[in-house]
Structure 1
Amino acid sequence: MGKKSAAAAALVLSGVLLATGCSSDGGSGSGPAKTGGGTAPAPSTSASGPAEGAGDGPASAAAYRKWGLKPLPAAPAPPAEKPVKAKPGEVPVISDIPTKEKVVFVTFDDGAEKDPRFVEMMRDLKIPFTMFLTDAAISTNKGYFKPLQQLGNAIQNHTLTHPNMRTESGAQQQHQICGQQEKLTKEYGKAPRLFRPPYGNWNEATRAAAKECGIQSIVLWRESMQIQNMQYQRGDKKLHPGDIILAHFRGKSELKGHTMTEMTANMLRHIQEQGFAVARLEDYV
């Protein structure tokens, strides 16, 4: 993609994300999602600065207080065997993880906002999360995401330009996924295993394209985080063990003057108040 076309795509993407928040139907995809396989009916932080590893232990109570939070429960040890199973030759589509452990999984999409204080927050709190990045959104500063990756957080695939995959041909879908696989692998040194379709919209051509591009699972969600509150798919409006939560790298314009760290703190309060720990998605998928 040339510089002019990349800039144009980024501008269009910014407008799309501002209008939609990247979520059209709460992650329902092409039908009700099934679990574990089958069809789913403070100071700035320098990008070059040292990063604490994911294995440095839980965050201190003082770190939580710094961000106006209470400590979250410690996550259990990762399962010896990953509970998400794929049928032979099939890429599973998941919205949650089959587990009885009281854990949820945090994901951030797109990459439009590149707030250095969010890096500081995640370094302090040591919350595991997954990044689903779109090339058009990250192209202005791809280095921003490297310290977050160095903390142990995986970078996964969210297409080149954030289209509605249901409206794309099979060849176009494969270009969107495989093209981003190539770019992310080159930039961050590791090929993504997971793919999230923009707006949660997918069809069987999406699944076929994902398989061709080396994707192992398509990941949707159960809850989405707005500014203050979560949107729940279930009628009881509660978190459930294994739920995947969608959030975004969002800026002040989209958050009506609020900051990304404020939005993230609100999300963590919802999780803490319901007694859940945050686990690493890639340990279960």
Structure 2
Amino acid sequence: MQTVRQNEKFSVKPHRPVCALAAALLVAALASGCADGGGDTPVREQPASPAAGRPGAAAAQAGPAPAVDSRAEERKQQQAARVVAAKKWGLAQVPLAAPEPPAQKPRITTREGFEIDGAEDEDLPPVFTTVPTKERIVFLTMDDGAEKDPELLRMMTELNIPYSAFLSDYEVNDDYGYFAEMQKRGVTLNNHTLNHPYLPGLSAAEQREEICGEQDKIEEHFGKRPALFRPPYGNYNGDTLRIAKSCGVKAVPLWAAEAFPDHMEWREWDQDLHPGDIILTHFRGQSDWDASMADMVRHVMKTVTDKGYAVARLEDYV
């Protein structure tokens, strides 16, 4: 199929000492309350608890101090660092911060029109271009792995922009270390086949080699079997999805838009972004784009931010 386009403070109020009756009668004539010291000094009501910093203050605390919202403070610091990084890397605007991911991931289903005929009763991995969410977030994904630009790693780390990689072994096998470093920085490495073929043109056995073979390669070199798979060119058939499921794939994210250093290509009729849209780009550089990965990031982030969206982490929603 050809594609078309997530104590109460407890304090005991001090009692005034009980005075002897005779003393009470004596001081009554002076219109004075019973003095703590037994003299004629006016009574000063004692505070319920010592002032902070005074002796006994710690003991007077009833229950724990209010908890500090450490996560809110962390996010505040991250955004402040992002302001500095945006200036350093030449972004037109500071990227918006994504909201906290949902406690429960949304239910993903196959997009209408992307189904496999005759497979309605099969529990196949869903194929989709948009994650169901009302948040103004989108997801950035990068395919293949041809360009291994260290500037990209630094830029995305300093800007704290999440992205997901979909790797083809023939493009990455000359430098697994680059993608291992990417993984250390929090990027999930997903499956894009061994050699990037047109899968519907292959036999089931050949598709298995391409899909499950890449699962094996990623597990071997990066220690984890991917749950996400993207078929090359967005093309697949029933064998593709059945084979992908058999070797551990849970979902098949495609894309709703594609990013380049100087423009966006839209897959939707309204030529716009929507909550939950997946954006595709590639690991490319001067030889293909006459521009760098950093140039692509600057352009896609201008588009995303201008439209009032933040970039979120795909794996937090799928």
Please indicate, yes or no, whether the TM-score normalized by the shorter chain is above 0.5. yes
Which of 264, 269, 285 aligns to 2:297? It is 264
Mapping of residues 137-216 of structure 1, within 5 Å: 137-216=171-250
Partner of 2:170: 136
Quick one: higher RCO (CA 8 Å, sep 6+), 1 or 2? Answer: 1
Partner of 1:60: 82
Q: Please, what is the CA RMSD of the aligned residues?
A: 2.0
- C-alpha offsets along residues 37-92 of structure 1, whole Å, 9 cap, x if unaligned? xxxxxxxxxxxxxxxxx998344211011111111211111111111336873211
Which of 244, 252, 255 aligns to 2:286? It is 252
Unaligned runs of at least 5 residues, structure 1: 1-28, 37-53
- How far off is 1:153 after superposition? 1.1
| Secondary structure of 1:175's aligned partner | helix
CA contact (8 A) 2:260 2:299 kept: no
Stretches (4+) displaced over 6 A = none
CA contact (8 A) 1:110 1:248 kept: yes
Separation in 1 of the partners of 2:232 and 2:174?
A: 20
Amino acid of the structure 2 residue aligned with 1:92: P
Partner of 1:275: 308
- C-alpha offsets along residues 87-114 of structure 1, whole Å, 9 cap, x if unaligned? 8732111111011100000000000000
| Secondary structure of 1:207's aligned partner | helix
Which of 193, 210, 219 aligns to 2:253? It is 219
Mapping of residues 40-79 of structure 1, within 5 Å: 57-58=78-79, 59-69=81-91, 70-79=93-102
TM value normalised by structure 1: 0.79
- C-alpha offsets along residues 152-200 of structure 1, whole Å, 9 cap, x if unaligned? 1100000000001111111111111110101101111111000000011
TM value normalised by structure 2: 0.71
Tell me the percent identity: 44
CA contact (8 A) 1:30 1:203 kept: no
Mapping of residues 2-151 of structure 1, within 5 Å: 29-30=1-2, 57-58=78-79, 59-69=81-91, 70-85=93-108, 89-151=123-185
Partner of 1:233: 267
Unaligned runs of at least 5 residues, structure 2: 7-73, 110-120
- How far off is 1:31 after superposition? 5.4
Separation in 1 of the partners of 2:199 and 2:122?
A: 24
Separation in 1 of the partners of 2:194 and 2:304?
A: 31
Name which one, 1 or 2, has greater alpha-carbon Rg: 2
| Equivalences, count | 237
